[in-house]
Structure 1
Amino acid sequence: MSAIHFFEKGKGQPVVLIHGFCEIGEMWRGFAEVLSTDFRVICPDLPGCGGSPISSNSISLEEVAILLEEWMEENNIQDPIVIGHSLGGYVTLALLELMGSKLKAVGLFHSTAFADDEEKKGMRDRTVIFLKKHGVNTFVTSFVPPLFPEERRDELANEINQAIAQAKNCSLDGLIAFTKAMRDRKDRFEVLENFSGLKLMIAGTLDGAVKIDASRKHKSAITDYFELEDTGHVGMIERKEETLKMVREFCERIIQ
């Protein structure tokens, strides 16, 4: 049996929501509550995050995709719509490369199909060093707040504190493993471009992690492209109602 921990709500067309770096499946609880009136919503914890174990501090996105494919087979998750946030988007694309037309549709939430450039790879290396020296709690406390626009951090203080608390449920090995996996991931723009199903992208104009200029380069490969003004890296929190509507309408199009 797969060691992937998850929660699910609802029945019908499966919608798999994959969390990002320093996140757990629980981050999607509000989305799942609403979408579950019409869909079977499944939210896994990636290895080393939340309730899913990891056996070392090294794992590739390809290995994660194989684990998730096995998990989906075990849990009768067939022809799913898969939507991932940030790292979850990278995992979604690795799944798409592995499973192809077995996925009904895909979505990238503040994510990219491009590989890291050299500057970003250097930042990942420094993250690994910091994690090994200071541990999970110190890292996530400094990492999470800058994901939100500076001018909204006071307003969103409760949401930021909740995100930090959830991030502390990631293991040290898990965070190191996924930092390396993000650094070493390959470009999957052609994988995205060649997929014939519907493709969603939600981008933030103030996203410091995935720059808006990079997001705009995906437009030719995306069927449903949206930009969120004055929004950072976590639009599902910053613009919950707006992004929930986008995701719901995207999923509804697929089952019509």
Structure 2
Amino acid sequence: MSGINFFEKGEGQALVLLHGFCEIGAMWEDFANSLSDNFRVICPDLPGLAGSELSSDSLSMEEVAVILEEWMEEQDIQNPIVIGHSLGGYVTLALTELLGPKLKAIGLFHSTAFPDNEDKKGMRDRTVIFLNKHGVETFVTSFLPPLFPENRREELNQEIQTAISQAKKCSLEGLIAFTKAMRDRKDRREVLQNFAGGKLMIAGELDSAVPIEASQAHKTLVTDYVELAGTGHMGMVERKAETIEIVRNFCLKHSS
């Protein structure tokens, strides 16, 4: 058994929503409630984060893809559309490399096909040191607020506190394993370019984690590119209603 915890809502074309780092499947609840009018929406917890098991203290994106392939087989999830936020986008690309035409369409939500550069790898290493020293609660409390634009943090305080509360459900081992997996992931621009199905990218103009210039470099690699003005790394919260409709329209276009 894959050991994946998940929730689902609706029926029809399968739509798998993958959460990001310091996030859990429950972050997609409002998306699932709305999109279940059209789709079977399935939202798993990635291994070691929230309710899903972590079978070892190390992971690669390729290993996560294999675990999710097993889970999809267990749940009879066939020809899904898969959309991932941030880390979830890295996993989506690894799944694309593994499953290819078995996926109907894919989406990168504030994510990238580029690997980490040396500066980002150094940041990942410092994150591992910080997590080992201070633990999950201290880390997520400091990590999450800067993902939102500074000028909206007061307005979105309740949403930020909800995100922090959910992030505290992630295990220390899971966060460390995924930090290393993100650091060591490979360049998947060719995987993205060669995938024959629909390819969505949602980018944030003010994204502090995925610079807008990096997102714009993907325009020729995707079929649908959407840039959100005045938006940081958490567009599914900052621009919830708008991004739900972006995802719905993309999925409707590519589900026939």
TM-score in same-fold range (> 0.5): yes
Counterpart position of 2:239? 239
The letter for the 2-side match of 1:124 is R
Give matches, 1:128-207, under 5 Å.
Answer: 128-207=128-207
4+ residue runs of structure 1 moved beyond 2 angstroms? none
C-alpha distance in 2 between matches for 1:11 and 1:254: 16
Cα shift readout 1:62-106 (whole Å, capped 9, x = no counterpart):
000000000001110000000000000000000000000000000
Aligned to 1:85: 85
- Matched position secondary structure for 1:226: strand
Corresponding residue SS for 2:48: coil
Q: Identify the residue that residue 251 of structure 2 maps to in structure 1.
A: 251
Other-structure match for 1:209:
209
**Distance in 2 between residues matched to 1:33 and 1:11, nearest whole Å:** 12
CA distance in 2, matches of 1:254, 1:122: 39
CA contact (8 A) 2:104 2:255 kept: no
The alpha-carbon deviation at position 50 of structure 1 amounts to 1.1
- Which residue number in structure 2 is paired with residue 229 of structure 1? 229
Aligned to 2:3: 3
1:57 Cα deviation after fit: 2.8
Please give the TM-score of this superposition, normalised by the length of structure 1: 0.99
Task: Determine the structure 2 residue equivalent to 1:52.
Answer: 52
The alignment's C-alpha RMSD in Å is 0.6
**In structure 1, C-alpha distance between the alignment counterparts of 2:171 and 2:53, rounded to whole Å:** 9
Letter in 2 for 1:241: A
Q: What code does the residue aligned with 2:97 have? A: E
Amino acid at match of 1:133: K
Q: How many correspondences in the alignment?
A: 256
Which residue of structure 2 lines up, in the alignment, with residue 12 of structure 1? 12
Deviation at 1:255, TM superposition (A): 2.5
SS in 1 for 2:202: strand
Please tell me the residue identity of whatever aligns with 1:66: V
Amino acid of the structure 2 residue aligned with 1:159: E
Question: What letter is aligned with 2:133?
Answer: K
Q: Distance in 2 between matches of 1:86 and 1:205?
A: 15
Paired letter, 2:160:
I
Q: Structure 2: give runs of 5+ residues left out of the alignment.
A: none
After superposition, the C-alpha distances for 1:158-185 in whole angstroms (9 at most, x for unaligned) are 0000000000010000000000000000
Does residue 116 in structure 1 map to residue 116 in structure 2? yes
Q: In 2, distance between residues paired with 1:213 and 1:154? A: 27
TM, length-normalised to structure 2 = 0.99
For residue 36 of structure 2, what is the aligned residue in structure 1? 36
Whole-Å separation in 2 of the counterparts to 1:133 and 1:36: 41
SS in structure 2 at match of 1:111: coil
1:55-74 correspondence runs (5 A): 55-74=55-74
Give the corresponding residue for 2:103: 103
Q: How far off its partner does 1:56 sit?
A: 3.2
